[in-house]
Amino acid sequence: MGFNNDGVSSMVERLKKRPKGLIIGGNIGKNKVTPNEEAANDYVYCFEELYDHVDYITVNVSSPNTPGLRDLQNESFLVPLFEKLDAIRKKRNIFKPIFLKIAPDFQPAELKNLVSVIKKLPIQGIIATNTTISRDKLEASEKLIQEIGSGGLSGKPLFEASTSIQSNLYRAIGADIPIIGVGGIFTVEEANKKIKRGARLIQIYTGFVYKGPWVVKSIIDGLKFED
């Protein structure tokens, strides 16, 4: 499936019209047809085009919907890429944060390796996590799951896996790099679990589909009364 959109130029034109004061982040990744050996070029191009029109930029190397993208979650790709992005940023008049968005499907040893890489990157936050390739939490029949096919699964079935990755990240990194918790947040209780396990901020995606925009107010109001 890849990142279906009208392209970065169309995005820039829309972003020029955004309401004043509205905070927007740019989420960048490689094109579906771009081989991994040339992936850095896509990230650099999108970064340069979007930089002046967003408030922060997320480097997405974890979407399972773009073939080969998750193979880029390694030191040989991430360190030189972030060096290039940071060099571009230093030439701009305004400093803007760069976040790294990671997958929820790491084994402990794999996550340990990623943590060692993250500590070498000039980033201001980690988004934990993207969607999952696991189908373990689904109640649908195996036949239906096979018919639906591959791709990233979001929503409630993602909550435990994403929160576990987030917790392990926080234990390994501490408060040095802020963690943005995302994955399966529908209620104030789920939001609070993310925060208690090290998230400095939270993001909601699928919750909007099932709960509507008022889910934001209900969570914020509820968090005010949590211990």
Number of H helices, E strands in the chain: 9, 6
The letter for the amino acid at 211 is K
* Three-state secondary structure call for residue 29: coil
Q: What is the DSSP string of 93-154?
A: SS---EEEEE-S---HHHHHHHHHHHTTS--SEEEE---BS--TT--S-HHHHHHH-SS-B-
Cα 59 from Cα 200, distance rounded (Å): 19
- Our answer to whether residue 63 is catalytic in this structure is yes
- φ and ψ of 101, to 5 deg: -105, 120
77: phi then psi, degrees, rounded to nearest 5: -95, -45
- Write down the catalytic residue from 63, 154, 162, 167: 63
> What amino acid positions are annotated as catalytic residues?
63
